[in-house]
Structure 1
């Protein structure tokens, strides 16, 4: 089934809705993801080509690409496309279905179970995904991906918090399961003024 990850992220992303990401005793069912299309995508970390930071995105499909954002958060992506072509799917949100107590301990500020993995940084914390999990084989590694047996119905729209052209309606590459309480609210990118 992992063969499907050799396709573009925009095709694969909706198929990951309902998939389960498992790290030790915590498991999260994905309810929201975003597709990033590499060098053809102004919102992607690979837009300007390969480099040290995004090298995993150019590796084989079915591996984990992690990155640090805002100087404090780790986010996790599933690498797609054949080796040498960057494409990935950001794991935006999910429902903790196993290990709720462990996830709640890691996310002590969450007020209800739906908040535990609502947003990409919260999802990584709830699961215990670390920056050094980059490159993990999602079939055999510490972080595992269990694909759903059948696709979920979904909605699509612009990506959350992506600045510039990549965050417009021309890139409706955020996918979510409608009605799921763990789906994060849409937020347009904040324009920052330079001092």
Structure 2
């Protein structure tokens, strides 16, 4: 069911460092053709980071990640699943934020049909699941996130507290595995994987 509160365009500065953008995206609503929900888990990557696709410089695959900030970088993971990143920093730098999980709020029937399951907690819990549920593929690579079919929105509710954010190591990488650049909403049921209970975040 769509959120009952009004939505306004999210004011995210994508020229900032990837780990800052990754934290700020928690709680922002992502829609693609009206389907999506609240971002609850992200991971940051930077050109100077050996775990990043851009660490070795530009290639045909990662070219969009060197493009203008605020665009999508879409790629296949292990040749199987599409994943989507938001491009950060200045053009030419090569930084981005992997969207790992959202809390589905809009277009649940469409997401269930695409994923072939009913459990709302599993529709978008993981970057590949998220992309499948939202219909993300190569056609969206390099597209601006502030233009259709994308929409990045904030819930407009007076006095609503900002989400509490946990931080911890990224998932499924062997290089720079201890860098705490995975961020998630504390207590969310929709994460791809729980955070360590000792994970720190702003109060």
Alignment TM class, shorter chain as reference: 0.7 to 0.9
Distance 2:79 2:36 in 1: 26
Where 1:31 maps in the other structure, the secondary structure is strand
Aligned ranges for residues 1-195 of structure 1 at < 5 Å?
2=11, 4-38=13-47, 40-108=48-116, 110-147=117-154, 151-163=162-174, 165-167=175-177, 169=178, 171-185=179-193
How many pairs were matched up? 182
Question: Structure 2 stretches of 5 or more lacking a match?
Answer: 1-9, 196-203
TM-score, normalised to structure 1's length? Answer: 0.87
Report the TM-score, using the length of structure 2 for normalisation: 0.84
Any idea what the Cα deviations from partners look like across 1:19-59, whole Å, max 9, x if unmatched? Answer: 11111131221000000012x10110000011111111111
TM-fit CA distance, 1:186: 6.0
Which residue in 1 is equivalent to 2:199?
none
Consecutive unaligned residues in structure 1, runs of 5 or more = 188-195
Deviations 1:125-169 (A, max 9, x none): 111111221001111132222256774211111000012x322x2
- Aligned-residue CA RMSD in angstroms? 1.8
Runs of 4+ aligned residues of structure 1 deviating over 4 Å after TM superposition are 147-151
Decide which structure has greater helix share.
1
| SS of corresponding position for 2:75 | strand
Partners of 2:150 and 2:127 in 1: CA distance: 15
Aligned-partner SS, 2:59:
coil
